[in-house]
Chains A and B, each alone.
Chain A
């Protein structure tokens, strides 16, 4: 049973809409991540938050805006998306420390379709 939940599971939106994806982790982890998985492509890391501070932004377009209000919640705000943004968006969390990297636990993902 995954300790990372995501809502909604499916989302269809037009290019002019604004929507938000939500992720919540119940594992007491201190790092959270957003990934994009397009068909037949590897997972792409989008954003990393560690102790609520954004530590990585992999040149993601500004139409994607992350928010991390606390260590358990992560949002991805979407606006004026393009059809090529249609993908599976996965949230993950891990218990990170400077001693080493630990495995990430993924949520079930939000399957996004932009029309």
Chain B
């Protein structure tokens, strides 16, 4: 089993739709969690950190479920510009020089 798993998609959704991505991780000692987005042929960029209490940034909501070892990302009112690959990132330890694992990514296409 891979340490971080994501549904690869692609998710094809119409503008204005709500879409949710899940990510599961296998190491229960994992400490920090992030969502990044990566546009085609570009570098990953941080979308948001994921906190135990859940957090929201505009149309984006991230949740962490430590008991079930998954994190989620909800995008409301999808825009064409949301089309990208969304990467789940898990830090196995407290610091970044502990193991950093990127998930394989979930591809999203928002259709007019």
Q: Which residues of A contact B (CB under 8 A)?
A: 2, 31, 33, 35, 41-43, 45, 48, 50, 55-56, 90, 94, 96-109
Nearest CB in chain B: distance from A86 CB, A: 14
Residues of A within 8 A of B97 (CB): 31, 48, 50, 55-56, 96
Chain A residue nearest to B94 (CB atoms) is: A100
Other A-B contacts than A96-B95, A100-B95, 11 sampled, CB-CB below 8 A, are: A42-B102, A43-B44, A43-B102, A45-B100, A50-B95, A56-B99, A97-B95, A100-B94, A103-B46, A106-B43, A108-B42
Determine the interface band of chain B, counting residues with CB < 8 A from chain A: 20 to 34
Scan residues 11-42 of chain B and give those whose CB is less than 8 A from a CB of chain A: 31-32, 34, 42
* Complex alpha-carbon distance, A56 and B99, angstroms: 8
In angstroms, how far is the closest chain A Cβ from the Cβ of B86?
Answer: 13
Minimum CB distance partner of B97 in chain A: A55
Residue in B4, B43, B96, B101 whose CB lies within 8 Å of A48: B96
CA distance A31 to B95 in the complex (A): 10
9 tightest A-B CB contacts, nearest first? A106-B43, A43-B102, A101-B32, A55-B97, A101-B91, A42-B104, A103-B46, A101-B96, A50-B97
Chain B residues positioned under 8 Å from A96 (CB to CB): 95-97
**A41 with B104, Cβ < 8 A, contacts A31-B96, A55-B97 known:** yes
Q: Give 15 A-B contacts (CB < 8 Å), ordered by A residue.
A: A33-B96, A42-B87, A42-B103, A43-B44, A43-B87, A43-B102, A48-B97, A90-B43, A94-B96, A97-B95, A100-B31, A100-B94, A103-B34, A106-B43, A108-B43
B49 lies within 8 A of chain A by Cβ:
yes
